[in-house]
Structure 1
Amino acid sequence: MGLRAKIGIAISATAAVVAVLVGVLVHHHTVNAQLDLAGHTLDGRLQTTAQDRAAGIDTGRGLINPPDLPRPLKALAEGGRRGVYLDLSGRTPYLWAATKLGPDVVALKRPYDREQQTIEALDRMLWGAGAAGTALGCVVGLLVAHRLGRRLTASAATAQRIAEGDLGARLPRTGNDEIAQLTAAVNTMAEALSGRLRAERDVTANIAHELRTPVAGLVTAAGLLPPSRPAEMVRDRAERVRGLMEDVLEVARLDARTEEADREVRPLGELAHRAVAAAAGQGGGSGGAASAGAGSGAARAGANGGIRVRVLADGLVETDPRRVERILVNLISNARRHGAAPVTVEVDDGVIRVRDTGPGFPESLLTHGPQRFRTGGGRGGTGLGLGLTIAAGQARVLGAGLAFANPPGGGAQATVDLRGARCPDGDGSGESGGGV
């Protein structure tokens, strides 16, 4: 049950309880007032009748020792006291007054139905007023709850946007209540977080820019070294440093959210093959692979370095091919580095799945998504987590979906959803490919 429903129910229940209490109090007060008035009137008449009879005047209004006199009143009168009693035992209520006069009991009796009808009419009015008050309380409660709930929902949505990276999200400041204080706290938090992250990105980007020239010189100098094992190691480390520097700069550009996609119409299967070839060229690896529709499976198996490609249903997509290949290369490289062979790339009608048979993604990545400077994609214990961070950033630029999961059969699976970029006239007929 949401907060709006709780507030509405609380206000409605309070209005109903107040209406019932007021109705009960008014009912009892009216009944007692009417009974007192009727009792005083009848008691006065009884005194007049008893005085007349004591003087020897018979007005014919008094009843002498009536047989239907209620027992409580009869016992009171025989004890020498005068009293009034309301008899509700019959179909018609009667008001009695009785007193002792010598050896006899003198009593007066009158119907009480008119007063009873008045009380019943009053009860109906009270029930109607209570129902109307409760309905009004429900409406007011729902309006108040809707207003408060809308403000709280806006605060929660803004906090979620900030958590997802939209550091420019802010809440309008309205009112002076506790929710306004929450709004001010959320905005202050967003300002502080935005400033710290902006400073962090600026420092990182500035360091990467400053390192660009010396790293480029280091790579050039390493290329001039005579062929040898030490020279090969120096060149390899220099290339790694340059790659890391370029990744940091790319993350800074993606964080700035200024990147735009250059869209072209391309077959999705072709983009997958190009990405596999690029990923295979980044690192070695033995093992076979099969390419969908390939005429020479053995040759491609060696070229793809143990990466299997399966095209179940191909089609044309309007997207940025460079960014799609960048996403797939990073996903494949992460699978090869932190997973286990074989790595399978599957194209299925606008969806590309990259799956390995390793230990799977960690729970932190599945829960919070890729985070920079977290080791090894969460699996290998090494690395800076930039590859998956870049993949997620490029997918955001493309408007594509990127999801991570650990399938029931084991391993890890990353899914790139480009179905929103499919061309209606694209070729949906698929090719099938098998692994070796």
Structure 2
Amino acid sequence: MGLRTKTALVIAGTAAIVATLIGLLVHHRTAEDQRRNAARAADAQLRDALDDYAAGIDSGAVVNPRDLPATLRETITRRPVRATYLQHRGGDRPPLMWAAARVDGDILAVRRSYAEQARALTDLDQVLLGSGAAATALGCGLGVAVAATAGRRIGASARTAQRIADGDLTARVEPKGKDEIARLGAAVNTMADALSARLEAERRVTADIAHELRTPVAGLVTAVGLLPPGRPAELVSGGVDVLRRLVEDVLEVARLDVPGVEQAQREAVRLSTLAHRAAAATAGGTAGDVNVVVAADGIVETDPRRVERVLTNLITNARRHGAAPVVLEVDAPALRVRDHGPGFPTDLLTEGPRRFRTGARERGTGIGLGLTIVEGQARVLGARVTYENPPTGGARATLDLTPGSTGQPAAGGKHV
């Protein structure tokens, strides 16, 4: 049950309870006033009858009535008083208001019909019931309106927060009023500002460090070339090459973090050509252990350099953390990279790639920049990347180049 429904039910229930309580109070007070007025009138008629009885005048009063209510008879028998009693006879017979007193051992009584008062009370009950139903319906409508307004405002804050969580740091709430919901929107905006500032500071520090490292790394690359051939030179060369690629990856991530800076240069390109280029690039110029399978070829408008970058990172990730054979399938407009290893970790499938956290199952195999770059490049391309573990085993990453494909993730996968 949503907040809107709960709010509407609470307001409608409150209106119904208030209407019921007011109706009961009005009914009780009206019935008491009617009974009191009828009793006064009957008592006044009894006093006149007593005076007429003492003077020997026939006043129409009843002497020793056999149908006198037992409660009234007992009351005036115990004490010498005048007393009144409202008799409800049941069925279709109208109630009667009695007044009686003892005179010289006899009981003198008068009775008046209470039908008019009973009808008036019934009519009042119908009016109260109708007004209560109208008040409840009005309260329900008011509750729905209030709940809908509050729900829209809370929903706007929730959607903005979700956009911020999805990476749109420019999203902001427009607070209206000074109530709690407005303060919630202001808090979301404050959170977004703080998050944006923190990420920008992180990006600047990362970029500055990478820039500072480029010069000494370039010097190391040059120095390695001067070393005499041998195993030590190979070890140093391998380590320097890894360091150089890491610095370039950090710089690329820093550039992708700036909205609008990176733009795709689109051109018509055949997907099978891109697939063979990416496979060859990851094997030093030959396809190696990457099998390219063309299920459905096609020509798309995209940025070939960025697509190759995405594919090479996915293939490198599959070779590093999966198991052979690695298959690159062309199924226009999608490209799929499949390996036969242990599959993607659960946190990657549920949360997506996160920088500085490797996608491998064991520690010490990377810092998670490869799939972060895939995420950033896919965002620039307007494409979608999904990660899944097929039922037959292994891991499969799909790059969907369908125009406008960014959006909700496909079933069973996590999209970026």
Scaled by the length of structure 2, the TM-score of the pair is 0.90
| Aligned CA distance change for structure 1 residues 267 and 380 (closer, same or farther; 3 Å) | farther
Give the distance between the partners of 1:281 and 1:89, measured in 2 at CA.
108
Alignment-derived partner of residue 376 in structure 2: 393
Is the deviation greater in 32-41 or in 158-167?
Answer: 158-167
Is the deviation greater in 167-176 or in 245-254?
Answer: 167-176
Alignment-derived partner of residue 260 in structure 1: 263
Deviations 1:275-317 (A, max 9, x none): 22222228xxxxxxxxxxxxxxxxxxxx422223333333332
Residue 384, structure 1, aligned to residue 367, structure 2: yes
Please state how far the C-alpha of 1:53 moved relative to its aligned partner.
0.8
| Aligned CA distance change for structure 1 residues 51 and 374 (closer, same or farther; 3 Å) | same
Amino acid at match of 1:278: A
3-state secondary structure, aligned to 2:288: coil
Residue number among 291, 294, 310 corresponding to 2:293 in the alignment: 310
Amino acid at match of 1:84: T
Deviations 1:244-296 (A, max 9, x none): 111111101111022111222223333223222222228xxxxxxxxxxxxxx
Contact 1:358–1:411 (CA under 8 A) maintained in structure 2: yes
Give the distance between the partners of 2:348 and 2:306, measured in 1 at CA.
22
Residue 249, structure 1, aligned to residue 251, structure 2: yes
| Aligned CA distance change for structure 1 residues 98 and 310 (closer, same or farther; 3 Å) | farther
Contact 2:294–2:331 (CA under 8 A) maintained in structure 1: yes
Please state how far the C-alpha of 1:83 moved relative to its aligned partner.
2.2
Alignment-derived partner of residue 181 in structure 2: 179
3-state secondary structure, aligned to 2:186: helix
| Aligned CA distance change for structure 1 residues 112 and 218 (closer, same or farther; 3 Å) | same
Alignment-derived partner of residue 67 in structure 1: 66
Contact 2:264–2:302 (CA under 8 A) maintained in structure 1: yes
Alignment-derived partner of residue 53 in structure 2: 53
Contact 2:345–2:361 (CA under 8 A) maintained in structure 1: yes
Which aligned pairs between 1:77-96 and structure 2 lie closer than 5 A? 77-80=76-79, 81-90=81-90, 91=92, 92-96=94-98
3-state secondary structure, aligned to 1:309: strand
Give the distance between the partners of 1:108 and 1:345, measured in 2 at CA.
108
3-state secondary structure, aligned to 2:220: helix
Residue number among 309, 316, 322 corresponding to 1:339 in the alignment: 322
Scaled by the length of structure 1, the TM-score of the pair is 0.86
Residue 271, structure 1, aligned to residue 270, structure 2: no
Alignment-derived partner of residue 41 in structure 1: 41
Deviations 1:310-352 (A, max 9, x none): 3333333222222112111111110110111122223334232
Is the deviation greater in 19-28 or in 190-199?
Answer: 190-199
3-state secondary structure, aligned to 1:281: coil
Q: Percent identity?
A: 58
Amino acid at match of 2:72: L
Please state how far the C-alpha of 1:421 moved relative to its aligned partner.
6.5
Give the distance between the partners of 2:156 and 2:360, measured in 1 at CA.
34
* Residue correspondences, number: 400
| Aligned CA distance change for structure 1 residues 149 and 207 (closer, same or farther; 3 Å) | same
Amino acid at match of 2:338: R
Deviations 1:10-38 (A, max 9, x none): 11111111111111111111111111111
Contact 2:276–2:287 (CA under 8 A) maintained in structure 1: no
Please state how far the C-alpha of 1:147 moved relative to its aligned partner.
2.2
Please state how far the C-alpha of 1:186 moved relative to its aligned partner.
2.2
Give the distance between the partners of 1:233 and 1:331, measured in 2 at CA.
26
Structure 1 runs not aligned, ≥5 long: 283-302, 423-436
